[in-house]
Amino acid sequence: MKLQQIKLNENNDEKVIFSSEHFYPQKASLLLAFGERTFLEKTLPFQKLKTLYPNAQIVICSTSGQISNTQLVENEVVATAIEFEKTKIKVSEIDIVLNSDIQALGKTIKETLMSADLKSILIISEGSFVNGTELINELMIQTKESIPIFGGLAGDEYNFEKTIVGLNQDAAAGKIVAIGFYGEAIHFGFGSDGGWSHFGPEREVTHSEKNVLYKIGDRFALDLYKEYLGKYADQLPASSLYFPLSMKENNNAEPVVRTILSIDEENKSMTFAGNIPQGSSVRLMTGNFDKLIDASYNAAERIYSKQKYEPELALLVSCVGRKIVLGNRIEEEIEVVREVFGEKILICGFYSYGEISPTLKKVACELHNQTMTITTIYES
């Protein structure tokens, strides 16, 4: 596996950040490009990237910030090109604006990607319309929960207006891209951790529909949430990133974190990136700088302690909520990943509206919010 990472400015002029020895751009088979939505709409980088990497499958995704090695990058596209030497890839794309049937997505992915030598699937999904829980549940059904799935939901800085994704074209709304990796030469490592702390009492969800939460106990969800947010209530939904919701489906379930995507003042409801089932229990959470950074270290250490190979590439998908809480300390959560893996690994990634990664208990995947999620890739 050979790698190259570049940055594109507002004029689509490129600057090489890293390049493996004997890397040839025309041999790149996959390119992952991340940039803010407004920047991507202004610069339309696809033609430039196609010129540079003519034979690559090019995936473009909007973000809430790009990751390049140990740096947070803004107002530039970060593009990472991968030349696989022994690994095949296949790609698939659907538009959920044209067809919102999540089962049709699963069927398309099954028909285009599934085969006996499929090793893993990378999902880059729009993050505005999709119900992340339904997305991963359908993927697990189609793959029979036997294939690790990783990736994330696109971001839109702190705007929450729309997100865009593109496959072999400039990014647009409503797209979900899946990339399959094939063969015995490709190896992956997965780690995810949050570091958030609970506060306030645990309460029961008494009225919800999929990822829309209406009532907690005998209170309208939005009213209760605003009461806890205090001075931050007028800044919803962006201010909810300071106080995500922890959700347990039942007493025996592991808690997962959910981020608000939008609010409805008329119905006093909140829409989340994943499902909040009726009967589940929820608690508010708050962030601590050191615990969030430690969680990033722990996610990397979880991979490092089990790895049989020295990984060459790390894809980091972190949450926009972590970015807003950590503020000017944000690069520390990237730096600790480098501390664990050493100087040889190339790091790329983005700040998202939702992270997708396997967990210790789920071979396939889980939808995460407010976590640092790391996937390492090595080709033997």
User: Residues, the chain, total?
Assistant: 380
Give the pLDDT score at 140.
87
Contact (CB, 8 A) for 373 and 139: no
Which of the listed residues 286, 303, 327 is the one where a domain comes to its end? 286
**Reported confidence tier of residue 346, pLDDT bands at 50, 70, 90:** very high
Average pLDDT, the chain: 92
Name beta bridge partners: 281.
Answer: 204, 248
Query: Is the preceding omega at residue 237 within 30 degrees of 0, hence cis?
Result: yes
User: 77-86, 215-224, 301-310 — which is least confidently predicted?
Assistant: 301-310
246 alpha carbon, distance to own chain's centre: 18
Give the pLDDT score at 131.
83
**What is the percentage of the chain residues whose pLDDT exceeds 70?**
98
**What is the percentage of the chain residues whose pLDDT exceeds 90?**
69
Which of the listed residues 286, 315, 344 is the one where a domain comes to its end? 286
DSSP string, 334-352: HHHHHHHH-SSSEEEEEEE
Same domain assignment for residues 280 and 303: no
Average pLDDT over residues 316-320: 94
Average pLDDT over residues 134-139: 88
**Reported confidence tier of residue 177, pLDDT bands at 50, 70, 90:** very high
**Reported confidence tier of residue 331, pLDDT bands at 50, 70, 90:** very high
**Reported confidence tier of residue 70, pLDDT bands at 50, 70, 90:** confident
Give the pLDDT score at 67.
97
Same domain assignment for residues 232 and 303: no
Average pLDDT over residues 345-374: 83
Which of the listed residues 286, 307, 332 is the one where a domain comes to its end? 286
Same domain assignment for residues 189 and 202: no
Give the pLDDT score at 360.
53
pLDDT at residue 217 is higher than 90: yes
pLDDT at residue 364 is higher than 70: no
- SS3 category, 379: strand
Give the pLDDT score at 216.
96
Contact (CB, 8 A) for 70 and 39: no
Average pLDDT over residues 220-245: 86
Element at 262 (helix H, strand E): strand 260-264
Same domain assignment for residues 210 and 167: no
Same domain assignment for residues 263 and 132: no
Domain containing 6: what range?
2-193+291-379
Give the pLDDT score at 287.
82
Residues 6 or more apart whose CB falls under 8 angstroms from that of 235 comprise: none
pLDDT at residue 229 is higher than 80: yes
Same domain assignment for residues 236 and 302: no
Type of residue at 84: F
**Reported confidence tier of residue 363, pLDDT bands at 50, 70, 90:** low
Same domain assignment for residues 179 and 320: yes
Distance in angstroms (rounded) separating the CA atoms of residues 325 and 239: 10
Residues 3-43: tens digit of each pLDDT: 999 999 999 999 999 999 999 999 999 999 999 999 999 99
pLDDT at residue 338 is higher than 90: yes
Same domain assignment for residues 209 and 269: yes
Give the pLDDT score at 362.
53
Same domain assignment for residues 185 and 300: yes
Average pLDDT over residues 172-192: 96
Residues 241-279: tens digit of each pLDDT: 788 889 999 888 878 888 787 899 999 999 988 889 999
Same domain assignment for residues 14 and 33: yes
Give the pLDDT score at 199.
84
Same domain assignment for residues 260 and 296: no
| Number of structural domains in the chain | 2
Same domain assignment for residues 33 and 130: yes
Read off φ and ψ for residue 230, nearest 5 degrees: 60, -120
Give the pLDDT score at 150.
95
